[in-house]
Structure 1
Amino acid sequence: CGVDATASHRELLRSSKPSLYTNVDCTALVAAVVSRQVSVVRLLLQSGGPTDIKVSLGAWSWDTTTGEEFRVGAGLAEPYAISWCAVEYFEDSGAILRMLLQHLPLETPHYGRTLLHHAVLCGSTGAVKVLLSCGANVECPVKTMKTEFRPIHMATRLGLSATLQSLIDSGCDLNSKTDSGDTALMICAKYKHEECLRVLTGAGADFGLVNISGQSASSIAGSNQWSRGFQQAVLDAIKVGRIPKSSNVSVLSPLMIVAETGDVEALKAVIGSGQFNLDHQNENGFSAVMVAALKGHVEAFRLLVYAGADVKLLNKSGETAITLSELNQNRDLFEKVMLELALEKGNRNAGGFYALHCAARYGDLDAVTLLTRRGYDVNVPDGDGYTPL
């Protein structure tokens, strides 16, 4: 019929996401991409029309010096290739983007970024999956005069947990660092993205790393008033069998986190994993059982002592788990735990705890009888000089 498929005409282009309602001069191919018309795009590409065209339909711009991004509104960004248009106006099946990538290069940069970076920025998990399946470099960095970061850092910063999972599934480095040494976990803590933190924890990201300022994900969460959300995300991961990894328990110990929160279910999982030394002491000399005693977590304390945690250890202030438990209003509950332990397991070497004295104080005749039969001396004084009598 003689229609020129490459001709440019004034068209009314409309889109709900991103929002677009404007008249522009464009080719039929551009209009079909924006309108997400798969069959029309296929027909136009088969006709052999040019694909090396630039369009000004983007909603995002960015500073090539700082890497900072700006949402300028659809149609106001710098002109880009039509494949970039297919990313921003992504059609759910991905067919349009795949067809265009058969005619256009995958990794050609646009102001220092690739199609994958743009798909992440646009929040299009579908486009990310298509690009990765077509061979996009999951580790390709954005480099500017002041910054350097990768797709995983972008997805985490923007709180895109589904996109983050797609990048992880494609084998990205979970512990890669930005120019400032931040990992994706640290970025989660900075921006308080709990779901992304769960995804990274489950995937095995390292909690034991620090950035060039010496900050860890945990310390960043603390300085950002997000300790509770951070802890909850870690606990949630533990409860579904994903024990957090830490190459340096002095930076972060999952055992210490669960002891501090007193979450019994999570503590059972951590102890049961067999991955952690129950008697590890932090920089202040506190062990997990000391933390549980200090916080008043009786059931967590019970789990730890029955698992073999040493209550005789001293922190840097000379305190033990027993002396710390005595500071609590529910000190009698801690005493009962230790008494039960002595009765069940015959534990006679719990520094600072005197089982026979405790049984006598409670008037527990059966316990006194059992302990004396086991050889407990009724004349031995406790720390205050009192004997059981």
Structure 2
Amino acid sequence: MRPLLSLCLGLAFQLTQPVAHAQNMTTLALHQAAAGNNSHRIQQLLQNGGASAIDARDAQGRTPLLVATQSNQVAAAKALIEAGADVNAKDNIEDSPYLYAGARGHQEILQMALSHGADLRSTNRYGGTALIPAAERGHVETVRTLINAGVDVNHVNRLGWTALMEAIILSDGGPRHQQILQLLIDAKADVNLADKEGVTPLAHARQRGYSAMVEMLTAAGAR
């Protein structure tokens, strides 16, 4: 019985090898097409048996959609999202297409992600929502979009900072961050929510000499 069993196992292994190889090649091809913004190739691959690999991961844990998002390849992202790619699938460092698009201000991909099931409560490796890095990096329209989508404006990340706090602490205090601060104030962000050391947004703005922000915060009731 043992020789027969070994023979059967060997044959099964040989039969599965071509299938596994084909799947790996499709996965590689999808990632390459995503990186190259080749939407036609993506559609071709998905129609020819590659649908099961739509959320397959590379060595960094990235799906084809995340690869496309990281390079802001809108056509590729559109083809993948419309085919059902998971906009919330995270890689090895907890980036997802939705979170990355928000953090980097990739508006077109972000809008598509929001209309295809983006998890507004999902967080990155710092424990922050998409809104927090968007505010830090000065992406005014992205901040507006995420606020309108319903992202919690008072979410606190692992550093102890909200989007409003990062718009002050990690900014140059210039016009873009002033606009973002006003958007957050208008969205009822808590202007008195202090950091882990008990330092308030107003105190941080004063320490940095951001006079315009100080005026905005004071007008909103900051102490």
- Tell me if both proteins adopt one fold, taking TM over 0.5 as the criterion: yes
Change (3 A) 1:177 1:53: closer
Task: Please state whether the residue corresponding to 2:161 is helix, strand or coil.
Answer: coil
**Which structure has the bigger radius of gyration?**
1
The equivalent of 2:187 in structure 1 is 244
The equivalent of 1:225 in structure 2 is 171
- State yes or no: 1:198 paired with 2:144: yes
TM-score normalized with structure 2 length: 0.67
Structure 2 distance, partners of 1:212, 1:89, is: 35
Per residue, is there more helix in 1 or in 2?
2
Deviates more, 1:178-187 or 1:151-160: 151-160
Query: Where does 1:28-39 land on structure 2 (aligned, <5 Å)?
Result: none
- Contact 2:99/2:124 (<8 A) preserved: yes
Structure 2 distance, partners of 1:224, 1:129, is: 32
Q: Deviations over 1:262-300 (max 9, x none)?
A: 9xxxxxxxxxxxxxxxxxxxxxxx784x67xxxxxxxxx
RMSD: 3.4
The equivalent of 2:35 in structure 1 is 88
Q: Deviations over 1:3-30 (max 9, x none)?
A: xxxxxxxxxxxxxxxxxxxxxxxxxxxx
- State yes or no: 1:137 paired with 2:86: yes
- CA apart distance, 1:210: 0.7
Structure 1 distance, partners of 2:123, 2:158, is: 10
The equivalent of 2:74 in structure 1 is 125
Structure 2 distance, partners of 1:166, 1:194, is: 18
Query: Where does 1:199-214 land on structure 2 (aligned, <5 Å)?
Result: 199-214=145-160
Query: Where does 1:27-106 land on structure 2 (aligned, <5 Å)?
Result: 54=25, 81-91=28-38, 94-102=39-47, 103-104=49-50, 105-106=53-54
Task: Please state whether the residue corresponding to 1:142 is helix, strand or coil.
Answer: coil
Task: Please state whether the residue corresponding to 1:208 is helix, strand or coil.
Answer: coil
TM-score normalized with structure 1 length: 0.40
Structure 1 distance, partners of 2:151, 2:111, is: 12
- Contact 1:153/1:187 (<8 A) preserved: no
Q: Deviations over 1:131-164 (max 9, x none)?
A: 1111111111112xxx322222211333312111
Per residue, is there more strand in 1 or in 2?
1
Which runs of 5 or more residues in structure 1 are unaligned?
1-49, 56-79, 263-285, 292-314, 316-389
Higher RCO, Cα 8 Å, sep 6+: 2
Q: Deviations over 1:144-199 (max 9, x none)?
A: xxx32222221133331211111111120223211221111111123222232222
Change (3 A) 1:217 1:161: same
Which runs of 5 or more residues in structure 2 are unaligned?
1-20, 195-211
Structure 2 distance, partners of 1:110, 1:101, is: 17
- Contact 1:149/1:179 (<8 A) preserved: yes
Task: Please state whether the residue corresponding to 1:149 is helix, strand or coil.
Answer: coil
- State yes or no: 1:156 paired with 2:156: no
What is the aligned-residue identity percentage?
27
- CA apart distance, 1:249: 6.5
- State yes or no: 1:167 paired with 2:113: yes
- CA apart distance, 1:117: 0.8
One-letter amino acid of the counterpart of residue 110, structure 1? D
